[in-house]
Amino acid sequence: MDDIDRQIVEALRTNARSTYAELGRLVGLSPPAAHERVGKLESGGIITGYHASVEPTALGLGVSALVGILLSDDHEAEDVVAALHDLPEIEDCWFVAGEETLVIKVRVPDVDSLEKSLGALRRIRGISRTRTTVVLSTRWENQVRPA
């Protein structure tokens, strides 16, 4: 990745609907050259997709929590991950170093829903314990910057 690629990635992170002409003007390339660069970034796995950003509270998801998951010794993490994938309130799942094996981000409408979700988590075979941190406010998210 060179500086032009970094500028293109940043521009697309800001506005994924940018045209190749707009990208080209921004970085000093022709639209076909910008198109080629974007194609290489996609095929190289740097750009993995395009999506609409949504405001969780506008969708009725006013409570966010980070939940650390401690696994029992006799279960495989991948089995637990597969079970977690089926829960719609889980937005992200990370395999981490430390006391917990996994950390998940949960978004739910209210605290009662969070309590129910935590109960559902504890019933998954292989989860021995959870540790929950409720998010009071979000300062920023998705701040990935090209190196």
Domain boundaries, the chain: 3-43, 56-135
Specify whether domain 56-135 bears CATH 3.40.605.10.
no
H or E element in which residue 32 lies: helix 31-43
Q: 73 - beta bridge partners?
A: none
Q: Which CATH number fits domain 3-43: 3.40.50.12160, 3.10.580.10, 1.10.10.10, 1.10.1510.10?
A: 1.10.10.10
**pLDDT at position 126 over 80:** yes
Model confidence band, residue 119 (pLDDT cutoffs 50, 70, 90) = very high
Per-residue pLDDT reduced to its tens digit, 1-52: 899 999 999 999 889 999 999 999 999 999 999 999 999 999 999 999 998 8
Per-residue pLDDT reduced to its tens digit, 44-67: 999 999 988 889 999 999 999 999
CA distance 86 to 30: 45
CA distance 115 to 110: 9
